[in-house]
Amino acid sequence: MTHCWVCNLGLMSYLEAQELQRRLITLRYKNIIDDILLLLEHPPTITLGRFANPANILVAQDELNRRGISIYASDRAGETAFHCPGQLVAYPIMDIKHRVGRLREYIHCLEEVALKTLMHFGIRAGRFFEHPGIWKHGKQIAAIGLLVSRGITMHGLSLNVNPNLNNFKVINLCGLPGKEATSISKLLGHDIDINDVIQCTHNTFSEVFDVDLETISMQQVIGDSYAAESTKVV
C-alpha cells in the first residue's frame, strides 16, 4: 500500500482549482510531493473540455449571468460538464506510469470509487459503456474527465450528492442530448450530508487504489505548493 495525501478544499472556483492542479502536477512529476487527492465543490460552472461543442450549452449567456453560472474552457479531455455546490469533485494528482493498464485501468478505478461509494448508500448504479461515467435509470450520477501529463493525472471524478438538478439542464450532459442528471439525495428521497459522502469516498478511494490516505489541510496544500515551486531547482 502506497502513501497518498488527501485534502478537503471546500468550495473553490474552477479556475483556482485548475491552477492549483497544474502546480501540483509539476511537483508530482519532479517527485517533490506524493500523490494527492483533492476533494472539493465548485460554484455553478459550465466547463468545456478540449473536444467540446459550444452548441451543447442550451441557455443564452444573459440567462447564465442571471443564474450566476460561469463558463470556462478546461484542459481536460471530453465534452461539456456542469459543476455546482452539492456535487463532490475528486481530483487525484497521481503518478500512474507504473500502474498496470495505466489509463484504462485508472478510469476503471475512478468509476469503481463512485460505484462503491453509491453502494454504501444503498444505490446500485452502473457504467455506460459508450461513455465514461456512472448512470442510474438512464440518468447520470457521476462523470469523469481527465488530463494525463507525463504520466501524472489531474481532473477526475464528479459525484452528484445533493445539487440543484434543474441547473444541469443548461447543457447537454457530456455532449449527449436528452440525458438527465440525478443524485444520491434524489434517488434516496431525502437529503444527504456531503461530509458523509466525503468520508465514504476517503474509504473507497483507499480501498480501490490501494493507498494509505493521510489528511492534510488546505493551507498545507496551497502554501506548500507555492513554497516548493519558488525553491525548485530547474
- Tens of pLDDT, residue by residue over 115-146, are 999 999 999 999 987 777 899 999 999 999 99
Least confident of 46-55, 159-168, 169-178, 213-222: 213-222
Domains in the chain: ranges and CATH: 2-225 (3.30.930.10)
| Own/partner long-range contacts of 202-206 (Cβ < 8 Å, ≥24 apart) | 202/6, 204/112, 204/113, 204/116, 204/117, 204/120, 205/6, 205/37, 205/90, 205/92, 205/113, 206/4
Give the catalytic positions in this structure: 174
pLDDT at position 232 over 60: no
- Name the residue with cell 474552477: 14
Order the strands of the 45-48 sheet from edge to edge: 70-73, 45-48, 80-83
Q: How far is CA 215 from CA 13, 37, 128, 157, 169, in A?
A: 22, 9, 32, 19, 35
What integer pLDDT is reported at residue 128 of this predicted model? 84
Predicted confidence (pLDDT) at residue 166 exceeds the cutoff of 60: yes
Looking at residue 46, its pLDDT comes to: 97
Please check the confidence at residue 66 and state whether its pLDDT lies above 90. Answer: yes
